[in-house]
Amino acid sequence: MTNNNDNIIQPFLRWPGGKRWLAKRINKLIDIKNHLRYVEPFVGGGSIYFRLLPNNAIISDINKELIITYKAIKNNPIKVLNILRKMPTGKEEYYEIRDKTYSGKIETAARFLYLNRLAFGGMYRVNKKGKFNVPYGGDRRVSILWENNLIVNASKALKNTKIYCNDFSNILKNCQKGDLVYCDPAYTVTHNNNGFLRYNENIFSWNDQKRLANTCFEAAQKGAQIIVSNAGNESILKLYRPITPIAVQRYSGVSCQTKGRGSVKEYIFVINKKTIHKKVISDR
Ligand SMILES: C[S@@+](CC[C@H](N)C(=O)[O-])C[C@H]1O[C@@H](n2cnc3c(N)ncnc32)[C@H](O)[C@@H]1O
């Protein structure tokens, strides 16, 4: 599997917890050439997908509005942009648009992109009723989305990609030999309570982390090549035993740790039949 395009495509979303910082180094870690299909079950802002530009891919996420947006950009980029161009970007209008819900998919996508540009820190956070509740973050340039062709380029890149809104387990259970799967779950451990975890109505729990590790091992047993990013700490290490992770450092501007900003260690686990040869799934 090679990619269609030698150009790098800039992701169209701001996505806290996103992997833009890793995307630059990803080609050294992920080699899509020897695989038939690329699968990304926690696509979020898609930094890795847009860097790799696979020509046979599945992307998925549990965030319904995010996936409506990907599908609308894939199928109707110009219609989305036409609505977006007319949306006023002042503070008062932001709160009016934030409080609206649209039944149409194109309008929903335009609102999602608008909120993503203008919400504080580009955060996606909803309250218990599922209502988006991030305050206004200032008049950032929404026009970057059309002036820099971000939406039109993304639409072209997504042309052959299958897009789903689903829990990761339903995507991973259909993975097999020939698949390269990259999992970038919301981190449960180091980023606790900093507000950036609340991507959706439900926070990714420790139980979800365990479910993810088990599902990854099962997919690897079926022959898929799995790559998982996660927080660089002891409990995650235990969860993926006996895999020895690759440790990567990233600069953190949103660190929740009392020490504040700094360098944070993250782990990358490569799971395949070779790396789990001693693993007995039932002992986890
Ligand atoms: C760390 S972000 C992924 C960021 C992405 N790699 C990027 O570069 O932008 C984690 C994503 O997992 C999604 N998510 C949370 N729980 C999920 C679940 N149970 N199944 C699938 N996706 C989930 C969130 O909506 C969020 O978009």
**Which of ligand 1's atoms lies nearest the C-alpha of 40?**
6
Indicate whether 26 pLDDT > 60.
yes
- Residue 231, classed as helix, strand or coil, is strand
Tokens 């260690």 identify what position?
265
Per residue in 189-248, pLDDT (tens digit) is 644 444 444 444 457 888 999 999 999 999 999 999 999 999 998 999 999 999 999 999
Q: Which residues contact 276 (CB under 8 A, 6 or more apart)?
A: 217, 220, 221, 242, 243
Could you tell me if residue 43 is inside a domain? yes
Task: Supply the pLDDT for residue 115.
Answer: 96
**CB-facing half-sphere around the CA of 233: CA atoms within 13 A:** 9
Q: Could you tell me the distance, in angstroms and rounded to a whole number, from the CA of residue 188 to the centre of ligand 1?
A: 12
For atom 13 of ligand 1, the residue with the nearest CA is 42
Asked if 193 and 277 sit in the same domain, the reply is yes
The residues that bridge with 227 in the sheet, in sequence order, are 182, 270
Q: Greater confidence, 257 or 50? A: 50
pTM of the model: 0.90
Residue 41 contacts residue 181 (beta carbons within 8 Å): yes
Q: DSSP character for 161? A: -
Indicate whether 274 pLDDT > 90.
no
* Total tally of structural domains belonging to the chain: 2
Domain's final residue, options 114, 135, 155: 155
Domain of residue 80: give its range. Answer: 68-155
Task: Supply the pLDDT for residue 84.
Answer: 96
Asked if 39 and 173 sit in the same domain, the reply is yes
Per residue in 104-138, pLDDT (tens digit) is 999 999 999 999 999 999 888 888 788 999 999 98
Q: Could you tell me the distance, in angstroms and rounded to a whole number, from the CA of residue 92 to the centre of ligand 1?
A: 30
Asked if 179 and 247 sit in the same domain, the reply is yes
Ligand 1 pocket, Cβ-based, cut-off 6 angstroms: 15, 17-19, 41-42, 44-48, 61-63, 167-168, 184-186, 199-200, 204, 208
Strand duo 262-271 + 225-231: pairing: antiparallel
Asked if 261 and 204 sit in the same domain, the reply is yes
**Which of ligand 1's atoms lies nearest the C-alpha of 187?**
1
**Which of ligand 1's atoms lies nearest the C-alpha of 20?**
8
Domain's final residue, options 123, 155, 187: 155
Angle CA 137–138–139, to nearest 5: 135
Q: Could you tell me the distance, in angstroms and rounded to a whole number, from the CA of residue 54 to the centre of ligand 1?
A: 19
Q: Greater confidence, 258 or 272? A: 272
Asked if 122 and 209 sit in the same domain, the reply is no
Q: Could you tell me the distance, in angstroms and rounded to a whole number, from the CA of residue 18 to the centre of ligand 1?
A: 9
